Structure 1
Amino acid sequence: MNKQEKDILNTLYHQSVNNQREISELSGHSLGVVNKSIKELMNKGYINEKCAVTPKALIEFKEKAPKNAVILAAGYGMRMVPINTETPKGLLEVNGEVLIERTIRQLHEVGIYEIYVVVGFMKERYEYLIDDFGVELVVNEEYTTKNNLYSVKKVLNHLSNTYIIPCDIWCDKNPYHHHELYSWYMVSDLIDDDSTVRVNRKMELVTIPKAAGGNAMIGISYLLDDDAQIVKGRIEKLCSNSANDGAFWETALYDKDRMFITARVVHSWDVVEINTYEQLREMDSDSNHLKTDAIQVISDALSVSADDIVDITVLKKGMTNRSFLFSCKGKKYIMRIPGEGTDQLINRRNEAMVYNTIDGRHICDDIAYINPDNGYKITAFLENARVCDPENNDDVCKCMKRLREFHDMKLKVNHEFDIFGQLEFYESLWDGSPSAYRHYRQTKENVLSLRPYIEAHVNEKVLTHIDAVPDNFLFVKDENGNEDIRLIDWEYAGMQDPHVDIAMFCIYSMYDREHVDKLIDAYFTERCSAETRIKIYCYIAVCGLLWSNWCEYKRNLGVDFGEYSLRQYRYAKDYYKVVQDEMQKLEDN
């Protein structure tokens, strides 16, 4: 049977019809297609002369009936800022009903009780579904670093006549059925510039260029067993290659320029994917989840109503925080929300003190609000800003010049960033767990042995940024069109040897020895002494271990920084050796 014949057979099985015209209206196919399909169904033995389904058709319905469902609920839902800092998107309430609960009830209505919910972010919040709805939770431990391709991989053994459903879907009418005769992927009739597929006349989903305007991808799919087996094999192969860590599970549905399963098109008002705060506001302006702490802070700080806060857009998730861009009364701002575990890492009162010290000096971004208790911060958005390119020598030289100018201001605050103390502190946050690195104890001992040399060569401590990495140098234009450089993100700033900032720039940029020396020379235009250069090498080793310990703590919270964490540990080991070699050269001379 082709798709049209299956649609018409399904109509005949589930609906009481009197003539072909009614079949046409119910199935959505033309009268000509209906007449042709009825003849074929009779010839193939699926219906009799009275258009009643035959035992052969009943066997077909039974074999292809849905067995189970998989609901994907592991991700952060990053576009749902600021709600996702308090509630996982599957538990958002719309019109008085929780999204995932509505989906589960709709599945129950058609007899599907074998339901697997793949969880990750805030997984504990979904636990009640086990008791209330009888679902099985499947934990995706890799949700922080991989996309939902890996969530589906967790349930491959269950894929057979299966619905795959995103957790952030609101279906006005129940889209699930007791019977399905073919595999499909759901899109809507809404044209979406972000979509990469379009339905052609054959009801195939073909790929299109970005921004060409395709059918909005809903994400619900049904896979018959035969097609599920194909998807299983493809997902296993895709997941074996780390290049696919960011891939969606739909990648497994494509054969070159089209999906190998058919399209199911629904009206845009029948099924809605709720991805953003503003989409939720459009769906249910009275939703309790719209009343978040972040929105209230913005309202109070800028003296506006929640309705004035528009164009909310998630920014790239940082290493410490989550941030989002928003507009309010014609101006753009960035709201920073501290990330997981940062309450133990950062003293927000010290940070607020730093911003107070540098206020009005045109060093940093313009602060509209900062809370010294919880770290919420609102800054004016700098239009057309770009970050420093650590591989661009001109950029780097300008940033070092700006950094030197800041250090030469010799600003003071009442707190110090104690590198060695913080190194021990981050290790203490492991709660007794051993380091992931086999030689950690020896590496730490080596690094700590550098302390006497460092302390003997510190000339003066001033306010130091500590996190002076390329991403925190913003190139902007002032009101006269002149280029300016602003340093942002002063969370770790405190009194310290300013040369620490040079080391921090190096290790974040993952510089090799040659680039490290070039950076030092860019900062010390008057020539750097051998003793100071060795001290900076010491800082590279110490700061490498410092951030390696920080990464190990964050990894215990489920946040992994990949190569960055490994490279920091290598800086600790490698630059201890560099220091030993350079000190030996000094002695020999």
Structure 2
Amino acid sequence: MNAKEIEILRTIKTSISQRDLASKLNISLGKVNQIINELKKQKFLDENNNITSKTKIYFESHHPKNAIILAAGYGMRMVPINTEEPKGLLEVKGETLIERLIKQLHEVGIKDIKIVVGFMKEHYEFLIDKYNVDLVVNTRYKDWNNIYSLYMVNDVIANTYVLPCDVWFKNNPFSTVEDESWYLFGEEVVTGSDWQVKNNGKVRFKASNGNKMIGLAYINSMHGKIISKRLEEMIKKEQRTSFWEDALEDRKDFLLSGKVIDDDTHAEINSYEQLLDLDSGSTHLKNDAIEIIENILKVNKKDIHNIHTLKKGMTNRSFIFTVNNKRYIMRIPGEGTDKLIDRREEYDVYQRVKKEPYTETILYLNPDNGYKISEFLENTRNSDSNNVQDVKESMNVLRKFHSQNYQVDHTFDLWKQIDFYESLRKTASAYRDYEEIKDWVLKLKPFIEDNVTKWSLCHIDANYDNFLIDQNNNVFLIDWEYAGMQDPDLDIAMYAIYAGYTKEKIDQLINIYYENKVSENIRYKIYAYVAVGGLLWSNWCEYKQSLGLDFGEYSLAQYRYAKEYSKLVLNYLEKKNDKNK
């Protein structure tokens, strides 16, 4: 039975006129008459337009059985709110998004509800006792889109509603009776959708400007088997960037029928601005980061636009926003950052360098929690560590900074930092020969200390990504949170290991910085710093991994630097000692 027939059977029992039926269901009076005559012929209606026992049996046998709510993702577009709550728990008009959905499911008799959680999973725990739902934990939400979440419960997809946690419906979108599978689309035509819903409910491929995909679907048992199989195949193929809806697509065919909802009866909450538009009184709009922006720039939250994540950094979560047609960046320190960085020391560094033309313009920096607002550097790009000219320009700025000989009251102590990161991870290193390699690295300490010729403020985090180049070839050095007193040659080594340089590239970098005037001892001291820096950041990666963050090949590369370059320098020192005997 199709959706229109079901709707007429569900509605006609209220003794509504056929004209009113046509208006309510948005179909012609002639179509209503046609459907009613067909329902009478099939004995679903009697001659007086009353539903029959056959209809009642049909309703009972076609009641949806369960629901799956997908709530595992980061919700990165919800910055800065997603630093406090997962988006399913955002409050709209006095209730959280996910609780409204659960209540609407309960209204149509659906109590078997599984919620797939991941990011901030603990925040959803209260739903178990309050609504008797099942929480399914997706530990791979960081590496996969929501396809993996649905895959985890693919064995229960049969007469099932599948829906996201971040959509708000004015009216209950669920029903006590379903038959055909369907996917919900919005009236809005958007460039990101390849699918257009026709008047007959068929979904047709359209290369651009299709109906907006809402994320809610009803999947009957027949289509559940098909989708379950497709999900398994996609997971085997490691299709990490796919969404579960990709399992509905096969070239230019869409597996399910389309159902269209009026744009003014629903809202997808994917950003701070969408929440503001839907409910300007939501308690979640009272956010620390937003209040800081309001106070520093002297604006109202309604003046803050185009909020979006800059990138998910290794340490922080940063987002861009626009006020009065000017762009800014706000940094919110990431998980565990308070243990790694002294924000008071960072504040002192910025006080030293803030007037330099090669640094970003800082409007606000809180020395207690690390929140920072800076002007966005327009028309810039990250330097390319494989572009010799970019490297030269970057080293020119680094050399200029070092020559200014800035002084602060704190030191970035490499050796203490290595021990500090070891203590944070609280377990033995995952590398079997760690203790041996650490011993090699520690043996480099006397050689390094004997060859330090200058002690000044250094950037420490001289990653090529932290060098920005504008259209006029002006170079900016940003993100000074690790900066402290050190040997300037350490910055050269840090640039090299962040760039993943081979020895040949490291030598080229040294020659560029020193303009081909470097002694053998200094060159090997920089190699030693490569080893020390490698061990340092390897420990940093292991600590971060204990928090659930994995940096893949970067982590392994740092350990290799520690191993290979400590051996290189120790062999050099051994040969040097032999010559001096």
TM-score, structure 1 normalization: 0.91
Amino acid at match of 2:8: T
Give the aligned partner of residue 463 of structure 1.
Answer: 457
- 2: CA distance, partners of 1:528 / 1:59: 89
Q: Given that residues 410 and 462 in structure 1 are in contact (C-alpha distance below 8 angstroms), is that contact kept between their aligned partners in structure 2?
A: yes
Give the aligned partner of residue 447 of structure 1.
Answer: 441
Following superposition, the deviation at residue 214 of structure 1 comes to: 2.7
Q: Given that residues 385 and 499 in structure 2 are in contact (C-alpha distance below 8 angstroms), is that contact kept between their aligned partners in structure 1?
A: yes
Q: 1:200 to 1:530 in 2, by over 3 A?
A: farther
Q: Which has the larger displacement, 434-443 or 453-462?
A: 434-443
Give the aligned partner of residue 409 of structure 1.
Answer: 404
Give the aligned partner of residue 313 of structure 2.
Answer: 318
Deviations 1:19-69 (A, max 9, x none): 765554444444565566567667777667776667766665445431111
Q: Given that residues 12 and 50 in structure 2 are in contact (C-alpha distance below 8 angstroms), is that contact kept between their aligned partners in structure 1?
A: no
Deviations 1:329-365 (A, max 9, x none): 3422111111111011100011011100012121210
Q: 1:396 aligns with which of 383, 391, 399?
A: 391
Following superposition, the deviation at residue 437 of structure 1 comes to: 2.6
Amino acid at match of 1:443: I
Q: 1:55 to 1:448 in 2, by over 3 A?
A: farther
Following superposition, the deviation at residue 202 of structure 1 comes to: 5.0
Deviations 1:209-236 (A, max 9, x none): 5xx4332221111111221222222222
- 2: CA distance, partners of 1:439 / 1:221: 52
Give the aligned partner of residue 272 of structure 1.
Answer: 267
Alignment of 1:65-464 (within 5 A): 65-201=63-199, 203-209=201-207, 212-242=208-238, 244-430=239-425, 432-464=426-458
Q: Given that residues 188 and 218 in structure 1 are in contact (C-alpha distance below 8 angstroms), is that contact kept between their aligned partners in structure 2?
A: yes
Q: 1:411 to 1:18 in 2, by over 3 A?
A: closer
Q: 1:21 to 1:390 in 2, by over 3 A?
A: same
Q: 2:508 aligned with 1:514, yes or no?
A: no
- 2: CA distance, partners of 1:391 / 1:48: 79
Give the aligned partner of residue 557 of structure 1.
Answer: 547
- 2: CA distance, partners of 1:467 / 1:192: 41
Deviations 1:456-503 (A, max 9, x none): 2222121111111111101125xxxx3310100000001111122122
Q: Which has the larger displacement, 569-578 or 14-23?
A: 14-23
Q: 1:566 aligns with which of 553, 556, 562?
A: 556
Q: Given that residues 170 and 272 in structure 1 are in contact (C-alpha distance below 8 angstroms), is that contact kept between their aligned partners in structure 2?
A: yes
Q: Which has the larger displacement, 188-197 or 112-121?
A: 188-197
Deviations 1:359-380 (A, max 9, x none): 2121210011111111011101
Q: 1:197 to 1:580 in 2, by over 3 A?
A: farther
For structure 2, list consecutive stretches of 5 or more residues without a partner in the other structure.
Answer: none
Amino acid at match of 1:221: A
- 2: CA distance, partners of 1:65 / 1:575: 67
Q: 1:450 to 1:229 in 2, by over 3 A?
A: farther
- 2: CA distance, partners of 1:99 / 1:115: 15
- 2: CA distance, partners of 1:349 / 1:176: 53
Q: Given that residues 8 and 23 in structure 1 are in contact (C-alpha distance below 8 angstroms), is that contact kept between their aligned partners in structure 2?
A: no
RMSD of Structure 2 on Structure 1 (CA):
2.5
Amino acid at match of 2:121: K
Q: 1:43 to 1:122 in 2, by over 3 A?
A: same
Following superposition, the deviation at residue 282 of structure 1 comes to: 1.0
- 2: CA distance, partners of 1:26 / 1:8: 13
- 2: CA distance, partners of 1:35 / 1:583: 96
Q: Which has the larger displacement, 38-47 or 348-357?
A: 38-47
Alignment of 1:498-509 (within 5 A): 498-509=488-499
Deviations 1:57-97 (A, max 9, x none): 66654454311111111112111111111121111111111
Q: 1:395 to 1:179 in 2, by over 3 A?
A: same
Amino acid at match of 1:232: S
For structure 1, list consecutive stretches of 5 or more residues without a partner in the other structure.
Answer: none
- 2: CA distance, partners of 1:131 / 1:489: 45
Q: 1:457 to 1:64 in 2, by over 3 A?
A: farther
Q: Which has the larger displacement, 328-337 or 31-40?
A: 31-40
Q: Given that residues 114 and 135 in structure 1 are in contact (C-alpha distance below 8 angstroms), is that contact kept between their aligned partners in structure 2?
A: yes
Q: Which has the larger displacement, 495-504 or 363-372?
A: 495-504
Amino acid at match of 1:87: E
Give the aligned partner of residue 539 of structure 1.
Answer: 529
SS at match of 1:186: strand
Q: 1:351 to 1:222 in 2, by over 3 A?
A: same
Following superposition, the deviation at residue 199 of structure 1 comes to: 2.4
Q: Which has the larger displacement, 497-506 or 279-288?
A: 497-506
Q: 1:356 to 1:37 in 2, by over 3 A?
A: same
